[in-house]
Amino acid sequence: MQLATVVREQTETSDYTKHDLLFKDLIQTFFKEFIDIFFPDVHRHIDYHHTRMLSEEMHTDLHDGGTRRLDVVVETKLKGEDSIIIIHVEPQSYRLPEFNERMFHYYNLLYNKYRKPIVPIAVLNPDKTRDEPVTFTQAFPFFHILNFLKLELRKKNWRDYIKSDNPAAAALLSKMCYTNEERVEVKKEFLRMLVRMQLNSAKEYLIYGFFESYLDLNEKEEEKLREEIGKIDDGVKVMELTISYEEKGKKEGKQEVAIEMLRKGASIQFITEVTHLEKQEIERLRKML
């Protein structure tokens, strides 16, 4: 059951980055696991049997007149209660000076539409660690208009999560706090988590792709990783997983080459000889163009 809906902000000047979409896909797929590992106080009160995604409807922003679609928006209930609440998760991959004000606007958009209690959560993942406010205030030192929960990934120690076997945490290891010297070890522990979790191939591939987008080892580091994998008890299974994804990556690369050659008018026979893909696969790619 899909638990959340990915919603995009759409303004004339807004251009969602690859990073925003990666985070939204991850949180959408592993919403329950994400709340569990990073917001346990919220998690223990949520009745996930009464969770559904909200429709991707446009909201008019009364502040600037633009139209917006919020990010991950989920309707659910508290355990033992019939009242509905809304959880809004907003990933932010770059520093925005007025982000707390934006969270206030988003809160207003949701409340004006649904008239339900809102739980706003910000997931901050800029490349550098900063202390970001979790409130929106005006000129009164004694008054906060909005408080929201936040997750600052660069302040999280990756070692605290490697025993959790939580898929959301596994993917987000790549955005936590680690040194350059720890990069190989982070990926090794990530792969061990994947082996232990035994997810279906689609979810596993999503997590692997997310991780690789942020922690991509160079050749020297990959060589060291293979050496380290050979020393651990579950090394065979981890190595099999690594080889599997290397092969998938090679195939995807060949498919990209084949698509480009098709666009330039190359024959299927010639593309087969160059890429070593099956003719049926190239025909399938041609029909997709």
**Contact present, 63 and 105 (Cβ < 8 Å):** yes
**Final residue of a domain: which of 155, 185, 210?**
155
Collect contacts of 104-111 with beta carbons under 8 A, ≥24 apart.
Answer: 104/136, 104/145, 104/146, 105/61, 105/63, 106/68, 106/70, 107/146, 107/148, 108/62, 109/59, 109/60, 109/61, 109/68, 109/70, 110/59, 110/70, 110/73, 110/86
Residue found under tokens 């917001």: 39
Q: Read off the tokens for 134.
A: 């979790």
Q: What is the pTM of this model?
A: 0.77
Residue found under tokens 């190989």: 184
Phi, psi of 58 (to 5 degrees): -75, 145
**Final residue of a domain: which of 110, 131, 155?**
155
Residue 231 lies in a domain: no
**Final residue of a domain: which of 155, 184, 211?**
155
Residue 202 lies in a domain: no
Q: What is the per-residue pLDDT across 214-265, written as a single tens digit (0 to 9) for each?
A: 998 999 999 999 999 999 999 899 988 888 777 777 777 788 888 888 887 8
252 and 111 both lie in a single domain: no
Residue 270 lies in a domain: yes
149 and 252 both lie in a single domain: no
10 and 149 both lie in a single domain: yes
Q: What is the per-residue pLDDT across 110-129, written as a single tens digit (0 to 9) for each?
A: 898 899 999 999 998 766 66
122 and 12 both lie in a single domain: yes
Q: What is the per-residue pLDDT across 41-62, written as a single tens digit (0 to 9) for each?
A: 999 999 999 888 786 555 555 5
Residue 45: which of 146, 133, 149 has the closest Cα?
149
138 and 256 both lie in a single domain: no
251 and 118 both lie in a single domain: no
Torsion, Cα 74 22 42 153, to 10 degrees, reads -160
Q: Is 59 helix (H, G, I), strand (E, B) or coil?
A: strand
Q: How many Cα atoms within 13 Å fall on the side-chain side of residue 53?
A: 17
Structural domain span for residue 111: 5-155
